[in-house]
A and B are shown apart, each in its own frame.
Chain A
């Protein structure tokens, strides 16, 4: 699930608020990505771990270098019920790295678990 809000702002992606919430059902390993362009080498989609964030009963690892739709995002990843979940947000003006980390923590705190109804 992805949320994007764009307003006029400075920089290449200025004014963009972009949040991704993703689940990888039935798998917990970090997926593999390419860096894009002609380089087809497979690398972890999330790398450069930078500590843990704990909220809402979740212990997530924060990654600062991410690929594909999470490129230029700060990403939180955690495992739950045999699946991998990620929450990421784009670092772009007017947001700074610190602001994005603060937002991610708030978003993690605000997550509500919805069990399948059937």
Chain B
């Protein structure tokens, strides 16, 4: 169903009473779930989602993510003695969801991840024996998130025991999943985080712009009509996403799996980032937005939203330093690529060849109007007014691998540091982003997703 102008205005009024109900607008503003193949392959890797549509924009292949996203965080209700029963109960619910819904955007994607507090409180001995070890970093593959140089001093480093990512084109599928997971009574929710992705790939005004306008976000009028994100530019390029199993613990050889319990698992970072949309569009002209989002002096067509980021476009650390010396700026993509792209051809244990310049992280971030969360056990984490932001969800082979990428975004590279004040204008995005929460999680393989290590 399409919205009338009057209904859009009513949506803006709804924004005044909070973000929680505003996601009902997603289906109305997009005319319902997009047409996609219903079937999908169920990978052993929980973080991989089959059936993601690929479209062409300006000659660049773009992945079309599921429309609706929800991330639940929770603590475990069961004590150690009851863990096996809880495990059976949660697994029953997850298998039930798999029977009901295809593992694709048209159905439902479920990713269950576990935080360090779970392993250390409930399965400490088994965790000590089986926890993956990051050889390159010389520490556990799952460690607490850092607070990064451009993070505000009050960024909350969270300590949730569980995080469950739900992705679907259908809001109903997600609501059903939340109901069934809560029904297991094995978990006590600590927060619910909602949002949306995609929309507008087939032309016309994009979903993020429509939602920002409906929510009355300052600066919403200035968002380019086709923007995939509130801050503009297309981010889900296929070349910018790690392919296949590249983010698995075992694929690139960074991680020692110590017996292999977590083989085909990965690491997940979750953060919430507020975006000052108005500051971005009123203070940074298009040229400066390109310079700081991609690379200084990159030649692009005026107004372009999709800028190729293939292996041949990747920057090295020396390029970023050179650009900074010449312009006083670093590009967000260019700086991150120094650590997020393969520096040489790499052959995985299964024989897959990943070429130099291939992206490693697999992102699953989504736009949000949560402020910062849709619901939380803490009242101060649910703002009355919607706020533009992103729930940043990304899969990397280890915490350290994510930390390297995020530090590079701040100009801190393995080979040296660019000295600018935190959130300096020359860092582009960093000047208008503000991270409120962060946490790292471990994503077990599907066969061990429910209360991992509890059966040992």
Contact = CB atoms under 8 A, between A and B. Distances in A.
Interface of A: 35, 37-39, 41, 43, 47-48, 64-65, 71-72, 91, 96-98
Contacts of B218: 91, 96-97
B282 A65 contact: yes
A35 B328 CA distance: 12
Contacts of A47: 285-287
Contacts of A91: 218, 278, 282
22 contacts: A35-B288, A39-B328, A39-B425, A39-B426, A43-B285, A47-B285, A47-B287, A48-B285, A64-B222, A64-B281, A64-B282, A65-B283, A65-B284, A65-B285, A71-B283, A72-B282, A91-B278, A91-B282, A97-B218, A97-B219, A97-B222, A98-B221
B419 to A, nearest CB: 12
Nearest to B221: A97
B440 to A, nearest CB: 33
Contacts of A41: 327-328
Given A64-B222, A65-B281, A98-B221, A38 B286 contact: no
A22 to B, nearest CB: 19
Interface string B289-302: 00000000000000
Contacts of B285: 43, 47-48, 65
Of all A-B residue pairs in the complex, the 6 with the closest CB atoms, nearest first, are A47-B285, A65-B285, A48-B285, A97-B221, A39-B328, A72-B282
Interface of B: 218-222, 278-279, 281-288, 327-328, 425-426
Contact of A48 (B278, B286, B327, B425): B286
Contacts of A38: 328
B283 A72 contact: yes
A64 B425 CA distance: 18
Nearest to B279: A72
Contact of B278 (A43, A71, A97): A97
A37 B282 CA distance: 17
Contacts of B426: 39
A91 B425 CA distance: 19
Contact of B425 (A35, A96, A97): A35
A69 to B, nearest CB: 14
Nearest to A101: B221
A98 B216 CA distance: 11
- Among B219, B222, B286, the most chain A Cβ lie within 10 Å of the Cβ of B222
A98 B283 CA distance: 17
Contacts of A48: 281, 285-286
B21 to A, nearest CB: 22
Nearest to B426: A39
A80 to B, nearest CB: 25
A37 B426 CA distance: 10
A28 B426 CA distance: 31
A93 to B, nearest CB: 8
Nearest to B216: A96
Contacts of A39: 328, 425-426
Nearest to A93: B218
A105 B156 CA distance: 44
A48 B286 CA distance: 7
Nearest to A39: B328
Contacts of A72: 279, 282-283
Contacts of B220: 97
- Among A41, A48, A98, the most chain B Cβ lie within 10 Å of the Cβ of A48
Contacts of B287: 43, 47
A37 B287 CA distance: 18
A100 to B, nearest CB: 10
B296 to A, nearest CB: 11
Given A43-B285, A48-B286, 18 more contacts: A39-B328, A39-B426, A41-B327, A41-B328, A43-B287, A47-B286, A48-B281, A48-B285, A64-B281, A64-B282, A65-B283, A65-B285, A72-B279, A72-B282, A91-B218, A97-B221, A97-B278, A98-B221
